[in-house]
Amino acid sequence: MASLFEDFANFMKKKLPSLNQSEADHCFILADLNKPLVEPLKTTQNDQVWIVRTKEDLLLLKDKLADSDVITLDIETSSLEPREGFIVGIGLGIEGLVAYIPIDHALPEDGTLLPDQLSLFEVVNTLDLKSKKFIAHNAKFELTWFKFHAGINLEFYWDTLLAAKLLQPDLPADLEKLAIRELDVTPWSLSPKSMKAFQSVDLNVASNYCGKDVLYTYQISQIQQKAMDALSIFLMRDVEIPLISVVADLEANGYLIDCDHFTELKARLEPEQALVLADIQAITGTGINPASPKQLSKLLYEDLSLSVFKKTEKGNPSTDEEALTPLIDAHPVVGKILKFKKIAMALSTGCKFPLEVDDDSRLRPKYNQMGAITGRFSATKKIHQLPNDDRFGIRSGFIAPPGFKIVGADFDQQELFILASVSGDQAMLDAIANGVDLHALAAKKVFSLDCELDEVKKLHPEKRKQVKEVQFGILYGSGAQSLAKTLSLSLQAAEELIDGYFKAFPGVKSFIDKTHKFAVKNGYLVDVFGRLKLVPDAQITTKSKLSLQSKALREAQNFPIQGAAATITKLAMIKCHNHIREFHPRIKMILSLHDELQFEVPDDEVEHFAAELPALMTDLGVESFGFKTPFKVSVELGQSWGTMVSHKPANQGVAQ
C-alpha cells in the first residue's frame, strides 16, 4: 500500500501550479527541502540499545554526539504531569546509534533505586543539552519536563506529532499508529500497567521500548520533510515549531484563581438551581430531570409537541440552548429549562475551578496547538467553554495578583477581515481601509437605507443585526434554513436576505462558489498559509448522501477563514512571546482564547505594554499571503478578566 505521505506529496506537486496569485506570490523554495538533515539511523528494531550507566559511558556518548547538529529525543516519565512525577530515563539517537540513559529506575519489590544510574543534572550538563537541537514526537512534552526538572529550555528542529497533523489531519497522530502506518513496523507499546509504573519496568525492556520511540521518530521525520512543500514547510518551521515554547510557557504560567469567589458563587447558585427545578417540575407535573436530554426530548417534542429546530448528529431532536431558544415563547417551561441549563453550566465549569488549581491557586489548562483541523487551539479544564454572557460573573474569578493587572488584546472582526482579503471583495476591503463598520455597511447596501453609515446602528439596529447574522453565517457555512431559525424569518425571507447580501458583496459570493467548486473537484482544500483539510464527502454524488456533501461544503466554506485566523493568532502569540522574553521578563502570557490573548502585567509596565500590543499583534509580515489591509486590535485591562475595560492611551488617561 502506498504511504499516505507519498500520496500527499504527489497531490501537493499537482497543487502548486494551480495556486492563485496571492498564494503563488509568497511561495518559496528551500534548496534542501528533500535533503535529509542527517543520514538515516542505521539501528534496526532488533539491534541492542546502548544503555548508558556510568560517567565513562556518558563522556563517550558526549564525544559521539559532538558532531551531530540534530539529536532525536524521547523521555520516559513516572507521570504525565511534571509537577507530579520525575524523569525515569532519556533516549537519544544519532546516526548509527540509539542510547538510553536510566535516571530513576527502581526495583519493583521495594522501590529501591537501581545502582549505576546517572543524575539528571549530570546528564544535562555533561551532554550540554541546552545547546543542541532536537527531533521529538510531541516536543512540548520533553520541553516542559526539562524546563521544570532541569531548568533548561530545549530547542527543537522538528516535531513529528505536529507534522503528522499538518500532513494527515484526518488520521491518528500518536507515534505507534503513525509508525505502523508509515514504517510498516509491529506494535511495541507496553501495557498500561507497565507505563504507569515505568520506573519498575525491567531495564532492558524499558530501553528497548524507548529506543524504538527514538528510532521511529527519526525515520518518520525524514519522510515528513520530504513530503512537505514550501507552504507546509512555512507552517511547520515558522508557526508550529516556534509555538511549542510559547505554549509550554503559557501552560507553566497558568491563570490565578480567586477560589473564594467560586465558593461563594456555588453557594448562591445551588439553591437557585433547586428553585428553578421545582418550578419546572411544578409546571410539567412530573419529576423530570432537565439535565437528561432523553427526558427533555420526550417532554418537549412528544408530550408538548413543540417544533424541532435542530437535530443531533444522530438525527435526534436536540435539546441544547440553540435548539431551545427559538421555543422560548412556545411554552412557559422552556424559559425555565434554559435558566436551569445556564446555572448547571456555571456549576460544572467555574464552580469546579477551585478543585482543579495547583497549590499556588493557579489554573493550568493543557493547550493543544493543533486541537482542530483548522489549526485552532483546544484546551482542558473548560477554560474555552465559559458562557459568552457571563451573567454569573465566572470571569471575575480569574484575577491578577497584587501589583499586577490583566491586559488583554483581541483582533477586531478578525474573520471578516480575512473574508475580505481571501475573497478580494473591493467594497469590504475599502470599508476596512476606511474604518467603516462592516455590519452597518452591509445593512445599508442590502436594505438601501437612507442614512449615513454611522447612523445605521442607532436608527436601524434590527436590520444591522440581521445582516450581521448573515455575515457570521457565511463565515461558518450556515445557509438560509439556519438563518431563518436564528432570526425567526420565513425561509423565503432568509433566502432573499442572503441574495441581497451577495449582490452587495459579489466578491464574497464568487469566493464561496470557487471554494465549493475546488472542494468538489479535488476533495481537499489548502488555505493561503498551506494548511490542509480533506473534504472527501464534497465529492459525493449519490442522492441519498447529499446531506453529507452539504455538510462537507459548509466546512469547506469555513475552513479558509478559520484556518487563516488560527495561523494569524499563532503568529501574534509568537511575536508577543518573543517580545516579552526580551523586553518584559516579568510579564506572563496567561490565556489564548480564539483571537484573544491575555497577559499578567506588573502595574508599572501596564501603560507601556498596552500601547505596544496592537503593533505586536498586527505587524506579522503576512502581506505576501494576500492580506493587504492591516488587522486591528483592541486592548482592555483590569484587575480580573471579568472587570476589564477598554484601554485608553496615556494622554487620555488609563482606564482602571
Question: Residue 497 in contact with residue 484, Cβ under 8 Å?
Answer: no
Q: What is the mean pLDDT of residues 521-532?
A: 94
In angstroms, the CA 509 to CA 513 distance is 6
Among candidate residues 342, 350, 382, 349, the one with its CA nearest the CA of residue 264: 350
103 and 133 co-located in one domain: yes
Tell me how far apart the alpha carbons of residues 92 and 382 are, in angstroms, rounded to a whole number.
36
Question: Minimal CA–CA distance to 156: which of 174, 175, 169, 137?
Answer: 137
- Contact (Cβ atoms closer than 8 angstroms) between residue 510 and residue 421: no
283 belongs to a structural domain: yes
Mark whether 397 and 431 lie in a shared domain: no
What is the identity of the amino acid at 308? V
- Amino acid occupying residue 630: P
Evaluate whether residue 31 is within a structural domain: no
Is residue 40 very low, low, confident or very high in pLDDT (cuts 50, 70, 90)?
A: very low
Question: Within 13 Å of residue 179, how many CA atoms lie on the same side as its CB?
Answer: 18
pLDDT of residue 476: 82
Does the pLDDT of residue 608 top 80, yes or no? yes
The CA distance from 542 to 177, in Å, is 32
pLDDT of residue 36: 34
H/E element, 595: none
* pLDDT for the residue 260: 96
pLDDT of 602 over the 70 cut: yes
Give the three-state DSSP class for 384.
Answer: coil
Question: What would the pLDDT profile of 567-597 be if each residue is shown by its tens digit?
Answer: 999 999 999 999 999 999 999 999 999 999 9
* pLDDT at residue number 47: 55
Q: Residue 232 falls within a domain, yes or no?
A: no
**Are 140 and 207 contained in the same domain?**
yes
Distance CA 653, CA 433 (A): 27
Domain boundary (499, 527, 557) is at: 557
In percent, the amount of the chain with pLDDT more than 70 equals 92
Which domain-ending residue is among 525, 557, 589? 557
d(CA 55, CA 52) in angstroms, rounded, equals: 8
Flag the least confident range among 128-137, 194-203, 306-315: 306-315
Of 508, 537, 557, the last residue of a domain is 557
pLDDT tens per residue, range 142-153: 999 999 999 999
The whole-angstrom distance between residue 360's C-alpha and the CA centroid of its chain comes to: 26
Q: Using CA atoms, how far apart are residues 411 and 634, in angstroms rounded to an integer? A: 6
**Domain identity same for 180 and 309:** no
What's the mean per-residue pLDDT of the chain? 89
Q: Identify residue 386 by its one-letter amino acid code.
A: L
Please report whether residue 625 resides in a domain.
yes
Measured CA to CA, the distance from residue 58 to residue 635 in angstroms comes to 51
20-40: average pLDDT: 34
pLDDT at 653 over 50: no
Calculate the dihedral angle through the C-alpha atoms of 566, 568, 571, 577, rounding to the nearest 10 degrees.
-80
As for how many domains the chain has, the answer is 4
Which string of DSSP letters, residue by residue, matches 601-648? EEGGGHHHHHHHHHHHHH--S-GGGT--SPP-EEEEEESBGGG-EE--
pLDDT tens figures, 268-325: 999 999 999 999 999 999 999 999 999 999 999 999 999 888 888 788 899 998 889 8
Q: Alpha-carbon distance 80 to 219, whole Å?
A: 25
Cα–Cα distance list, 234 to 155, 340, 531 (Å): 18, 47, 10
Q: Would you call 238 exposed, middle or buried from its count of C-beta atoms within 10 A (0-12, 13-18, 19+)? A: middle
The CATH number linked to 384 is: 3.30.70.370
Residue 18 — pLDDT band, cuts 50, 70, 90?
A: very low
Question: Do residues 312 and 279 share a domain?
Answer: yes
| Model pTM score | 0.89
Query: Which pLDDT band, with edges at 50, 70 and 90, does 622 fall under?
Result: very high
Strand order in the sheet with 70-77: 50-51, 97-102, 87-94, 70-77, 133-136, 155-159
Shared domain for 424 and 398, answered yes or no, is: no
Strands 87-94 and 70-77: antiparallel
Q: The domain that contains 348 carries what CATH number?
A: 1.20.1060.10
In a domain, 30, yes or no: no
Residue 213 lies in a domain: yes
DSSP assignments along 77-109, one per residue: ESSSSTTT--EEEEEEEETTEEEEEESS-B-TT
The yes-or-no verdict on residue 32 having pLDDT over 50 is no
**Domain interval for residue 173:** 41-227
Beta strands 97-102 and 367-368: pairing type?
unpaired
Task: Please check whether residues 551 and 461 belong to one and the same domain.
Answer: yes
Task: Write down the pLDDT at residue 278.
Answer: 96
Considering the domain architecture, whether residues 165 and 53 belong to the same structural domain is answered as: yes
In this prediction, residues 334-344 reach a mean pLDDT of 95
Q: Do 134 and 71 touch, CB atoms closer than 8 A?
A: yes
pLDDT of residue 545: 82
Q: What is the DSSP string of 524-572?
A: EEE-TT--EEE-GGGG---GGGHHHHHHHHHHHHHHHHHHHHHHHHHHH
- Looking at the structure, do residues 382 and 428 belong to the same domain, yes or no? no
Comparison of pLDDT for 485 and 136, the residue scoring more: 136
DSSP reduced 3-state for 389 = coil
Q: Is 159 or 350 the better-scoring residue by pLDDT?
A: 159
Q: What is the pLDDT of residues 231-251, one digit of tens each?
A: 889 999 999 999 999 999 999
Burial degree of 49 (CB within 10 A; 0-12, 13-18, 19+)? buried
d(CA 597, CA 271) in angstroms, rounded, equals 35
For the segment 51-60, the average pLDDT, to the nearest whole number, is 96
In the prediction, which pLDDT does 522 show?
95
Write the pLDDT tens digit of every residue in 382-431: 998 888 889 999 999 999 999 999 999 999 999 999 999 999 999 999 99
Do 306 and 371 lie in a common domain? Answer: no
For residue 74, being part of any structural domain is answered with yes
Q: Do 77 and 222 reside in the same domain of the chain?
A: yes
Instruction: Tell me which of 242 and 326 has the higher pLDDT.
Output: 242
Residue 564 has pLDDT above 60, yes or no: yes
Q: Please check whether residue 199 lies inside any domain of the structure.
A: yes
Lowest pLDDT segment from 12-26, 36-50, 475-489, 500-514: 12-26
CB burial of residue 1 (10 Å; 0-12, 13-18, 19+): exposed
Rg (CA), the chain: 28
pLDDT in tens, 90-107: 999 998 899 999 999 999
**What is the C-alpha to C-alpha distance for residues 326 and 304, in angstroms, rounded to an integer?**
15
Q: Are residues 210 and 321 in the same domain?
A: no
Place of cell 537501581: 114
Q: Residue for cell digits 411544578?
A: 282
Q: Which pLDDT belongs to residue 27?
A: 31
Task: Label the pairing between strands 70-77 and 133-136.
Answer: parallel
Which set of grid coordinates corresponds to residue 371?
486541537
Mean pLDDT of 210-232: 93
